[in-house]
Structure 1
Amino acid sequence: MGKVLFIRGGAVGDFILTLPAIKLMRDCLPENEIEILGYPSITELATTTGLADRTRSIEDARLATFFAPGAKLDEEWCDYFSSFDVVVSYLYDPDGYFSGNLEKAGVKTLLRGIFRPEESEPFVSASRQLARPLETLALFLEDPAPALDYEKTENTFPGNPVIALHPGSGSPSKNWSFESWANVIKGISEKHHEAHFLITAGEAELERIEQFHALIDPLGISWESVSGKSLTDLASLYRSIDFYLGHDSGISHLAASAGSKGLLLFGPTNPSIWAPETNRMEIIASPSKSLGDISVAQVLDRIELSTS
C-alpha cells in the first residue's frame, strides 16, 4: 500500500480512542509508512510508541482553504496530501468541502471516519466505530484495547502502593466532588498507611486543583502534585503506578493506554461507548447519570475488589 495518512484533530481522549485503528494498520501492514496530521503535543503519543513514523501539525493557516468550496488550494499542501496512497480523515466535514478538496488535491483513496461517535442504540464503543473506515481495506478491529508500549518511569516509592488520582475532566458535569475524592483518599490511607498518592492536573485545572490540595493536606498522607508533564511523560508515569482513579476524561484514557489498573466513575456519559476497552479498568456508572449519586463507600468497595 505504501504511505498512509491519518488526519485527527480533537482532544486527548478523541485521539487515544483512535489509536486502536492506527495500531490495526501498523500491525496488519507493518511495511506501510504511517503519518498523522494533528496536534503535535497529542500525536507524539503515536510516534513514541512506534505506531506512526512521523507527525505534522494541523495548525497551519494555509489549511483553511481546504474547508471552503472553490478556494485556491495551497500547492505545497496539495503535493503533501497527494503523496499518500491512503488518507483517513476524522475531521468534522458536514458539507464535504474538505473531502472534496482533498480529492481535488490528488488524493486517490480517501476514507472518511466519524468526527464524533454515534451514541444511539445499539451502543458500540467509540474505538470500534473509529476503526470502521479501515474495513474498506479488509482490516477489522478485533482487539480494541488501548495498551501501548510507553517507557516506564522508575518508581521512587519501591514497596509502597502508588495511586494516581486525576480528579478533573473536560466537563464539570463529569466530575465527582473534591470532597468525595478526599474521603476516598482518606479511606484508602486508613487501610494502607504506606500508600503514596499522585494528584494529576491539566493546565486548565491548575487553579482549581489547589482547592483539592487544601482538602487533603490535613489528612497526613503521603502525596504529591503532578502537573506540567507532556502526555508521553505522564503516560510513562502511569505505567509505573499500582492504581488509577478518575472520571471519563482524556487523561483516564491515557492511563488506560499505559496499561494502568484502576477505577473510573461515569455520570452523564455512556461507558458502553466512551469507556476504555480494557479489563484493567473497573467502571462505576451512575444509573441516574449524576455522579452525585455515587457514594464514597461504593468507590472504596470497588477499589478493594480491584486490588484483591
Structure 2
Amino acid sequence: MPTQPRVLVIRGGAIGDFILTLPVMRLLRDMIADSHIEVLGYPAIAELARAAGLADSIRSLEHRTIAPLFAKTAPIDEALAGHLRSFNLIVSFLYDPDGHFRASLERIGVKTLIECSPLVKPDGPHASRQLARGLEKIALFLEDEHLLRAHFPHSPLNHPRIAIHVGSGSEKKNWPLDRWQQVADSLGPKEVIFITGEAEAERGIHPAGRDTWHALPLPELAARLATCTAFLGHDSGISHLAAACGVPSLLLFGPTDPAIWAPPQPWVHVLRNPTQELPHLSVDQVKLAATQVVANS
C-alpha cells in the first residue's frame, strides 16, 4: 500500500508574509494528492494554515532543536533529523545566504529540498507569485485559482458589520486614528468594530467609543472577520487576513506598492494618494471610498 506523501513547508516572517504564502500552500495541497502537510513556523501565525485547511500539523520554528540547523557543524538532534527525513519534500522560505541550513539538511539525509526566496523584488510581479517561483523547479506553477480566492469561508451576518484595523507594522503605513474615527462616525447606525493588537497598544492607540477586538488569536480573529460585511485598513497583515476571509475591503496605501503588496483578491480596493503619503489622504476621500465599498458589500 503506498504511503501518504509528506510535505514540510518552512515559513517564518510576520502575519502578512505568511498569508502571502497561503496560495503556495494551496498549490501544494491541490497538486500533491492526499498529502500530509506540516508547517514549521511561528505557531501563533502558522495556525492560520491549519485553520484554512492547508496544513495538517504545526511545529515551532523557535524550538531549541532548530537552531543547530543554522550552524556549520553543530550536532543536530537525532529525533528532529529523523522527523525531517520523513518528508518526501521540504519547501523552505528561510533566508539562508551562507547555505548552512541547506548543508545541515543534506548532512542528515533529507530527500528533496526546494528553496523559495523570501525576498520580494520591488520591480517584480505580485509578492505571492514571486514567493511561488521556487516551486517551478518541480513543475508546480501558481495559477489565479490559487491566488485570487478566499482561504477561509466568508459567512457575513445578516446585518452590516464593518471592521476597521487602525494600525500596521510601520508608522509610515498608518492613517491617523482621529481620521478613522471620523470615517466610522460617517457610516451611520451600522456595527463598527475596531481591531487593535500589541503594536497599537505600544503606540498608545486606543479607539474610544467603539467595540474593539484586541490582540485576538489569529484563528479567532479570522473567524470573526469572516462575519464582517466590510473591512477598512492599511497595508498590514490583518488586511491580508480580512481579504483571505473574503471580506470586501478598502485599504489605504502609502509608500508601499499595492501592485506587489496589496491582497490580490478582486474584492480588495486600494486608495492611494499620488504623493504616496498617507497623511495627504483626506477624510472626505476615505469616507467616499468607504461608503462605496460598504454599499456594494
TM-score range, shorter chain: over 0.9
Does structure 2 retain, via aligned residues, the 8 Å contact 1:19–1:146? Answer: no
User: Among the aligned pairs, what percent are the same residue?
Assistant: 44
- The alpha-carbon deviation at position 304 of structure 1 amounts to 3.1
- The alpha-carbon deviation at position 210 of structure 1 amounts to 5.0
Aligned counterparts of 1:30 and 1:296: Cα–Cα separation in 2? 49
The residue number in structure 2 matching 1:282 is 269
Aligned counterparts of 1:228 and 1:168: Cα–Cα separation in 2? 12
The equivalences for 1:129-168 within 5 A come to 129-143=130-144, 144-150=147-153, 152=155, 155=157, 158-159=158-159, 161-168=160-167
Supply the AA of the counterpart residue of 1:111. I
Does structure 2 retain, via aligned residues, the 8 Å contact 1:150–1:232? Answer: no
Residue 38, structure 1, aligned to residue 33, structure 2: no
List per-residue Cα deviations over 1:225-276 (Å, max 9, x = no partner). Answer: 1113211111111111111000000111110110010100111111111100
From 57, 63, 66, the counterpart of 1:63: 66
Aligned counterparts of 1:209 and 1:261: Cα–Cα separation in 2? 28
Aligned counterparts of 1:16 and 1:275: Cα–Cα separation in 2? 11
Aligned counterparts of 2:282 and 2:108: Cα–Cα separation in 1? 55
- The alpha-carbon deviation at position 188 of structure 1 amounts to 2.0
Supply the AA of the counterpart residue of 2:42. Y
Change (3 A) 1:233 1:260: same
TM-score by length of 2: 0.92
- The alpha-carbon deviation at position 152 of structure 1 amounts to 4.5
The equivalences for 1:134-283 within 5 A come to 134-143=135-144, 144-150=147-153, 152=155, 155=157, 158-159=158-159, 161-189=160-188, 194-206=189-201, 208=203, 210-213=205-208, 217=209, 223-283=210-270
Tell me the secondary structure at the aligned position of residue 278 of structure 1. coil
List per-residue Cα deviations over 1:116-160 (Å, max 9, x = no partner). Answer: 3111x2x3111111111221221111121251134858x4xx43x
- The alpha-carbon deviation at position 102 of structure 1 amounts to 1.1
- The alpha-carbon deviation at position 209 of structure 1 amounts to 5.5
List per-residue Cα deviations over 1:33-69 (Å, max 9, x = no partner). Answer: 1111011111111112211111111111221111111
Aligned counterparts of 2:271 and 2:26: Cα–Cα separation in 1? 28
Residue 97, structure 1, aligned to residue 95, structure 2: no
The residue number in structure 1 matching 2:90 is 87
TM-score by length of 1: 0.89
Indicate the larger mover: 226-235 or 16-25.
Answer: 226-235
The residue number in structure 1 matching 2:16 is 13
Unaligned runs of 5+ in 1: 218-222
Supply the AA of the counterpart residue of 1:196. E
Aligned counterparts of 1:37 and 1:256: Cα–Cα separation in 2? 24
List per-residue Cα deviations over 1:78-124 (Å, max 9, x = no partner). Answer: 111111111110112111111111111211211111123111x2x31
Supply the AA of the counterpart residue of 2:30. D
Tell me the secondary structure at the aligned position of residue 187 of structure 2. helix
Aligned counterparts of 1:187 and 1:227: Cα–Cα separation in 2? 23
Tell me the secondary structure at the aligned position of residue 212 of structure 1. coil
Tell me the secondary structure at the aligned position of residue 197 of structure 1. strand
Aligned counterparts of 1:292 and 1:146: Cα–Cα separation in 2? 31
Aligned counterparts of 2:288 and 2:256: Cα–Cα separation in 1? 22
List per-residue Cα deviations over 1:149-184 (Å, max 9, x = no partner). Answer: 34858x4xx43x211000001111110011221221
- The runs of 4+ residues in structure 1 deviating greater than 6 Å are none
List per-residue Cα deviations over 1:9-47 (Å, max 9, x = no partner). Answer: 111111100000000111122311111101111111111
Aligned counterparts of 2:202 and 2:118: Cα–Cα separation in 1? 31
Change (3 A) 1:70 1:130: same
Tell me the secondary structure at the aligned position of residue 35 of structure 1. strand
Unaligned runs of 5+ in 2: none
Does structure 2 retain, via aligned residues, the 8 Å contact 1:256–1:276? Answer: yes
- The alpha-carbon deviation at position 208 of structure 1 amounts to 4.3
Tell me the secondary structure at the aligned position of residue 62 of structure 1. coil
Does structure 1 retain, via aligned residues, the 8 Å contact 2:154–2:246? Answer: no
Tell me the secondary structure at the aligned position of residue 207 of structure 2. helix
The residue number in structure 2 matching 1:220 is none
The residue number in structure 1 matching 2:32 is 29
Indicate the larger mover: 203-212 or 4-13.
Answer: 203-212
The residue number in structure 1 matching 2:128 is 127
